[in-house]
Amino acid sequence: MRVRHTGRLAAISLIGASGLLLASCSSSTVPDDADAPQDGSESSVADVAAAEDFLELWLDNPDKQLLIDEPLDASVEEGLEIVYLDVGTPVSAVMWENLQAPAELLGLDLRRVETGRDAQSVNAAMNTVVEMEPDGVINITLDPVFFESQIEQLDELGAPIASGSIVNSTEFGLPEAFNGAEWMKINGGVLAANAIVRSGGAEEYVFYNVPEFPFSALELEGAQAKMDELCPSCTLRVVDIPIAELGSTASDRVVSDLQANPATEYFMAAVDEVQIGLPQKLSLAGLDVDGVAMWPAPPNYEQIANGEQDATLAVDLNLMMWTVLDQLLREIGGQDYEWPDVETRAWTMTSIVDGESVPDDATAGYIGIDDYQERFAANWLLDG
């Protein structure tokens, strides 16, 4: 795969439910001066320097802190039953694994419930959750619109729900997710700025959207806004990839799209599962187009390490899942807490990772705070 870097970029150290959201196709028009150089020089239509400045916060920052960095009011009761809602994607499986260590540390009874991807399956799964009468629930990406009645039932049971990658949690009386709508938009902007920098100021882009994920449309919105700011005359096409194709035929759809649109110079995707297995298929098709996406799984890190994938907007999935669990513990204990500003939440959890900064352990993935386990243990009153 071709990788076009600027000198400054080399320093960058850069992570469903069936839904109702939007996004099909469209975008800016191609400028009259479409023959302008695309090498990141001053004559490029894209403001590469401004994109680089914007990305500074997504460098590897040694001063990152826990989003809620204060002790619990009381120790966690051993044996609390916590249900994890598994939406069936590869990243969801990684998140489940990332919950095992804190659950063991706290002595929690962690249960996994597979929700399926259609409304009927979700309803049946959530009825099962209610019957379990858990102490709390962790929900990642499953839109609350599909289990509103069960939310009320769980509330009556005194079982709070902590969410991740949910953009409308407060609309259903649920606690605010740390990575809600504005968080998604900011990181969508990071995808666009990164695409501009890594392409050297290209003009033709495509965004692969997964409409069943509510957060995908928000990443797209953020990418479009940042692209309009940094390169208003650039073209950004939008192509939908159904959630059912993740982990199966998503890469084939990308190849077909790039074959049909040979002018495309760089791509973005809402989830990095789109890129799993993609480099080999691009090579077989004779295509030489790089891209960046968010929410990488271990295979994405392996592809980057092998020089097959350009970059990823990595999410610290360990820190994310420990943080969501920490929030749930505070909700169970009735303890007040406050999230920091949304930009701080964004760069604390995410970082652009390329071949120079890819983690040695693909399974562990990107880790932004080396001693996060010790910090959480202290806040959970377990350090003594």
Provide the CATH number for the domain around residue 25: 3.40.50.2300
The predicted structure's pLDDT at residue 213:
86
Which two tokens mark 252? 């084939």
Q: Is residue 151 part of a domain?
A: no
Read off the pLDDT of each residue in 182-203 and give the average, rounded to a whole number: 97
- Place 5 in a pLDDT band, splitting at 50, 70 and 90: very low
Q: Is residue 192 part of a domain?
A: yes
Q: Strand, helix or coil at 237?
A: strand
The predicted structure's pLDDT at residue 244:
87
Q: Is residue 344 part of a domain?
A: no
Of all residues in the chain, the percent with pLDDT exceeding 70 is: 88
Listed in order, strand segments (DSSP E) in 330-384 are 350-354
Distance CA 108, CA 77 (A): 8
- Place 214 in a pLDDT band, splitting at 50, 70 and 90: confident
The predicted structure's pLDDT at residue 91:
84
CA distances in angstroms from 174 to 15, 40, 155, 247, 270, listed in the order given: 24, 45, 9, 30, 24
The predicted structure's pLDDT at residue 24:
34
Would you say the pTM of this structure is higher than 0.85?
no
The predicted structure's pLDDT at residue 60:
63
Number of structural domains the chain divides into: 1
pLDDT, tens digit, 9 for 90 and up, residues 249-266: 999 999 999 999 999 999
The predicted structure's pLDDT at residue 63:
86
Read off the pLDDT of each residue in 346-363 and give the average, rounded to a whole number: 95
Distance CA 273, CA 269 (A): 9
> What residues contact residue 219 under an 8 Å CB cut-off, 6+ apart?
184, 185, 187, 188, 191, 270, 294
The predicted structure's pLDDT at residue 154:
98
Q: Is residue 56 part of a domain?
A: yes
pLDDT above 80 for 15: no
Read off the pLDDT of each residue in 103-131 and give the average, rounded to a whole number: 96
The predicted structure's pLDDT at residue 41:
42
Which two tokens mark 225? 């806004």
Q: Is residue 94 part of a domain?
A: no
Distance CA 293, CA 300 (A): 10
Domain that holds residue 190: 8-62+182-315
pLDDT above 50 for 342: yes
Q: Is residue 89 part of a domain?
A: no
pLDDT, tens digit, 9 for 90 and up, residues 25-74: 333 333 334 344 444 444 568 999 999 999 999 976 668 999 999 999 99
- Place 381 in a pLDDT band, splitting at 50, 70 and 90: very high
pLDDT above 50 for 108: yes
> What residues contact residue 192 under an 8 Å CB cut-off, 6+ apart?
205, 222, 223, 224, 226, 227, 230, 236, 268
pLDDT, tens digit, 9 for 90 and up, residues 264-295: 999 999 999 999 999 999 999 999 999 999 99
Q: Which long-range contacts does 130-135 make (Cβ < 8 Å, 24+ apart)? A: 130/154, 130/157, 132/81, 132/83, 133/81, 133/157, 133/159, 134/81, 134/82, 134/83, 134/159, 135/80, 135/81, 135/82, 135/159, 135/332
Q: Is residue 291 part of a domain?
A: yes
Mean pLDDT of the chain: 88
pLDDT, tens digit, 9 for 90 and up, residues 290-303: 999 999 999 999 99
pLDDT above 90 for 239: yes
pLDDT above 60 for 18: no
pLDDT above 60 for 3: no
The predicted structure's pLDDT at residue 43:
52
Residue 358 C-beta-side C-alpha neighbours within 13 Å: 23
Which two tokens mark 55? 């990305």
Q: Is residue 210 part of a domain?
A: yes
Q: Say if residue 129 is exposed, middle or buried (CB neighbours under 10 Å; 0-12, 13-18, 19+).
A: buried
Of all residues in the chain, the percent with pLDDT exceeding 90 is: 81
Q: Which residue has the tokens 């271990």?
A: 298
Which two tokens mark 42? 């001053």
The predicted structure's pLDDT at residue 176:
94
